[in-house]
C-alpha cells in the first residue's frame, strides 16, 4: 500500500518539490500511526531544499519535507497503552531523519506525540506547535526569562517569533518586537509593548536582558545590546556564512559573560503536552498566514520565501493528494 508524501529529488527552488508515492508506514513497537491532516512549512526545510546545509549534514535524495503534524491515530504499535485509535494528536518528526510529516500518514514514537489542544483544528495546531516548543525551551530553559525583564524578539512576526512574543508577555517580560512596519499592529496584538522597524540600525535598538533571535545574522553585533547579565538565544544561524555565524556563537562563551545560546529543538511528549495546556489556557493563539493543499507544496514554500509571513504557512493533507506521481 502506498501514500502521498511531499519531497524533492534534487536541490533547487520551490519548483523541485513534488508529491510522490511512497510505502505506507506501519506502527512499530512504541509507535502510533497517525493520519496527517495538516503540517506546516519551516525555514530549515527551505535551507535544506536549496542545498545550503549539505556541508553540515549529509542527506540522501529524495528528501521528504515537513516537521510538525496534527491528525488522528489510525493504529497502535506493540506496547502502546497511553493512546487509543481515534485520538486526535499532534507532534514532530525528527528533522535529522529521513521521514517527513508532509504526507498522508506518519509512524511516530509516542515520545514525540501528545494530544492536541481541545477545540483546535489541525491547521491551528501546526501553526503553533513547533514555534511554541522552540520558544518555551529558548525563553524559559535557556534564557531563564524573568518577569519585569526587557525582551527583544527578532523576527517577531514569523512562525517562531510570533509565539515567542506571546510567551514573553505570559512570562511577564516587557516585549520589544523587531519586525517590519507592515507587521506592527500584528505583533502588538500578540503582546509586544514596543515595535522597532527591522531596517533600523542595530546600533540604535537599545539594551535588553534577553534577546531571542530567529534570523541568525549579525549575532555578534546583537550581543553588544545585552545588559551586563543579559542572555541571547539564537534558534537559527546564517546558512550563507556558516563558519562565521557558528564561530561567533562559540566565541561568545569565551569572551565575556554575554553568551549566545544556540540550540535546535527536539520536542518531547512532555513538552508538546505542556504546549497543549498553554494553548487550552488561552496563552497561545493560532496564527495561520495561508493554507495550501499538499499538492501545492511548491507554492507553500514560495510563499514563505517571499517574506512578510505572519505566523505559519500551513499545508492541509487530503485523504488522497491529487497530482501524486509514482
pLDDT at 323 over 50: no
pLDDT at 297 over 60: yes
Residue 238 pLDDT grade (very low, low, confident, very high; cuts 50, 70, 90): low
Angle, in degrees to the nearest 10, between helices 129-136 and 269-280: 110
**16-37 mean pLDDT:** 97
- DSSP 8-state secondary structure symbol assigned to residue 65: -
pLDDT at 237 over 80: no
Sheet (strand 2-8) strand order: 17-23, 2-8, 63-64
Mean pLDDT check: name the lowest of 3-12, 26-35, 132-141, 245-254: 245-254
Q: What is the pLDDT of residues 144-179, one digit of tens each?
A: 999 999 999 999 999 999 999 999 999 999 999 999
CA dihedral 242, 243, 248, 254 (to 10 degrees): 140
pLDDT of residue 207: 96
pLDDT of residue 254: 35
pLDDT of residue 262: 56
pLDDT of residue 250: 37
The distance of Cα 75 from the centroid of its chain, to the nearest Å, equals 27
Domains in the chain, CATH or no CATH each: 2-127+286-316 (3.90.180.10), 130-262 (3.40.50.720)
Q: In whole angstroms, what is the distance from residue 280 CA to residue 175 CA?
A: 23
Q: What is the 3-state secondary structure (H, E, C) of 291-311?
A: EEEHHHHHHHHHHHHHCCCCC
* pTM for this prediction: 0.88
C-alpha cell of residue 301:
514554500
pLDDT at 205 over 80: yes
Residue 221 pLDDT grade (very low, low, confident, very high; cuts 50, 70, 90): confident
pLDDT at 240 over 60: no
Q: What is the pLDDT of residues 51-64, one digit of tens each?
A: 887 766 567 899 99
Spatial CA neighbour of 82 closest among 269, 283, 296, 280? 269
**198-210 mean pLDDT:** 93
For strands 312-316 and 288-293, give the pairing: parallel
Q: Which residue has the higher pLDDT, 234 or 31?
A: 31
Mean pLDDT check: name the lowest of 33-37, 211-215, 253-257, 319-323: 253-257
Amino acid at each position: 500500500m502506498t501514500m502521498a508524501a511531499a519531497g524533492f529529488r534534487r536541490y533547487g527552488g520551490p519548483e523541485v518539490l513534488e508529491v510522490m508515492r511512497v510505502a505506507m508506514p506501519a506502527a512499530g513497537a512504541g509507535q502510533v500511526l497517525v493520519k496527517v491532516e495538516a503540517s506546516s512549512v519551516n525555514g530549515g526545510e527551505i535551507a535544506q531544499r536549496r542545498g545550503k546545509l549539505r556541508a553540515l549534514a549529509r542527506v540522501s535524495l529524495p528528501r521528504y519535507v515537513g516537521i510538525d503534524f496534527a491528525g488522528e491515530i489510525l493504529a497502535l504499535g506493540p506496547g502502546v497503552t497511553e493512546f487509543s485509535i481515534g485520538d486526535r494528536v499532534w507532534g514532530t518528526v525528527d528533522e535529522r531523519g529521513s521521514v517527513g510529516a508532509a504526507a498522508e500518514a506518519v509512524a511516530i514514537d509516542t515520545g514525540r506525540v501528545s494530544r492536541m489542544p481541545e477545540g483546535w483544528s489541525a491547521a491551528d495546531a501546526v501553526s503553533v506547535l513547533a514555534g511554541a516548543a522552540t520558544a518555551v525551551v529558548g525563553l524559559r530553559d535557556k534564557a531563564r526569562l524573568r518577569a519585569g525583564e526587557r525582551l527583544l524578539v527578532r523576527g517577531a512576526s514569523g512562525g517562531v517569533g510570533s509565539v515567542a512574543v506571546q510567551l514573553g508577555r505570559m512570562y511577564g517580560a516587557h516585549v520589544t518586537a523587531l519586525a517590519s512596519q507592515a507587521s506592527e499592529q500584528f505583533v502588538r496584538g500578540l503582546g509586544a509593548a514596543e515595535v522597532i522597524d527591522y531596517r533600523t540600525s542595530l546600533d540604535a535598538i537599545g539594551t535588553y536582558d534577553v534577546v531571542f533571535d530567529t534570523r541568525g545574522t549579525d549575532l555578534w553585533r546583537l550581543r553588544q545590546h545585552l545588559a551586563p547579565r543579559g542572555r541571547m538565544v539564537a534558534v537559527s544561524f546564517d546558512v550563507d556564512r556558516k563558519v562565521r555565524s557558528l564561530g561567533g556563537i562559540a566565541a561568545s562563551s569565551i569572551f565575556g559573560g554575554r553568551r549566545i545560546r544556540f540550540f535546535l529543538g527536539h520536542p518531547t511528549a512532555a513538552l508538546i503536552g505542556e504546549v497543549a495546556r498553554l494553548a487550552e489556557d488561552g496563552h497561545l493563539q493560532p496564527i495561520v498566514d495561508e493554507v495550501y493543499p499538499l499538492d501545492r507544496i511548491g507554492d507553500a514554500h514560495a510563499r514563505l520565501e517571499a517574506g512578510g509571513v505572519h505566523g505559519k504557512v500551513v499545508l492541509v493533507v487530503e485523504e488522497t493528494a491529487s497530482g501524486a506521481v509514482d
